[in-house]
A and B are shown apart, each in its own frame.
Chain A
């Protein structure tokens, strides 16, 4: 006895044996992934479904209402692998390369992110993101500034990193390029190195960099100053009760901070391994790195107010360095505890940790390989 699945192909219902259904679903998913960047995706998918439907209809009769597994396998073979008409022009070599890189990356290559220097304020990171997400660059810049403030400057380093790692669009094709961002270690390191060399040799950049650094230092000092004076005003007015509350709040802040941190890390894990965040898939055309970036921004944005309150707490409670140390120790302890629980309770985390260790080993050996090769020449 076989379980039967009811499906609809371009508006017509068919009944398939379950293993056949699974095969067909995989085939169509592969086809859709292949056509992801094609403007004709919807149309081609409908055409394919209709063609499959007609092939199914051919094996059915009033006395045979279910398409079996072998028939589905034959139909899929007849249909042949779906290839986007766009990539055909590039020939067999590119196709082979795409195939192998897919094995490493997991998800299919997607729309490509570039830094766009035309009309850029700085390195063109925001410009590139705006073009990528198809929104006005002002919003992206605003978001960058807001997140930089909320993350106590953390986002600034994300910007710097992106300026080095994301390739700069040189031609119109670059900007239109509809491929995934390559993500192998060697290429990433190589690009960062090359950009850094260029960066070092460019005087204008260096001057700009120093100017920005000074500006940031000033702002940072100003922010700290404000925070201190605010706390100093508040502290003497605080009663013993308020101090006690602050004392209670510290461990809570440590717990919440640790939970946020663990959730963030686990979400990144789940995104990298299963290409979803605790079961929620990313929107169709959002690449994984954007998911990682958004998660990181969220983490910083959510934990920033907590940090701020905690910071105030330290000051109010007498500005004793012991408080900060205590909080640090508690944070580390809670983080370790939650990780341990996750490692033991949530399925998949254990495998992932093992996988991460393996990947770290691979990356290290990759880097040492690259370095070794460099020294050869």
Chain B
């Protein structure tokens, strides 16, 4: 197993966390999310993002509203729900704990 294969599941697992972080800001459209993620390690595609967002919505962590766009049909703008906010803060705490643990073990 090479290093890329080992890193892929870590990124995959964290993608949901990252999405919650992005949605926590202003209401965002999927194309905006892709643009934000594009230059990062979490660069992803619609094929992955839409199913993930639908799952998050089913879990009531995010919600969306329709907004008119100048080109084409109205678009879905996603935002964080109260439940999502609680989960995000749990995830943030957990992430900090993980970092601390890793730091404690040193190199």
Contacts and interface: CB of A to CB of B under 8 A. Distances in A.
Interface in A59-84: 78-84
List of 4 A-B pairs having minimum Cβ-Cβ separation, nearest first:
A80-B45, A40-B54, A85-B55, A80-B47
Interface of B: 5, 8-9, 12-13, 30-31, 44-48, 50-55, 57-58, 71-73, 75-76
A374 interface: no
A43 B47 contact: no
A51 B52 CA distance: 15
A38 B12 CA distance: 18
A364 to B, nearest CB: 36
Looking at chain B's contact residues, is the secondary structure mostly helix, strand, loop, or mixed? helix
Contact of A83 (B48, B58, B73): B48
Contacts of B48: 80-83
B9 A91 contact: yes
Contact of A50 (B47, B53, B54, B73): B73
A51 B30 contact: yes
Interface residues of A, number: 30
Given A40-B58, A57-B71, A84 B51 contact: yes
Contact of A38 (B47, B51, B53): B51
A78 to B, nearest CB: 7
A53 interface: yes
In this complex, which of A35, A44, A84, A86 has the most chain B Cβ atoms within 10 angstroms of its Cβ?
A44
Contact of A48 (B8, B46, B71): B46
A272 to B, nearest CB: 30
B8 A83 contact: no
Nearest to B55: A85
Contacts of A85: 51-52, 54-55
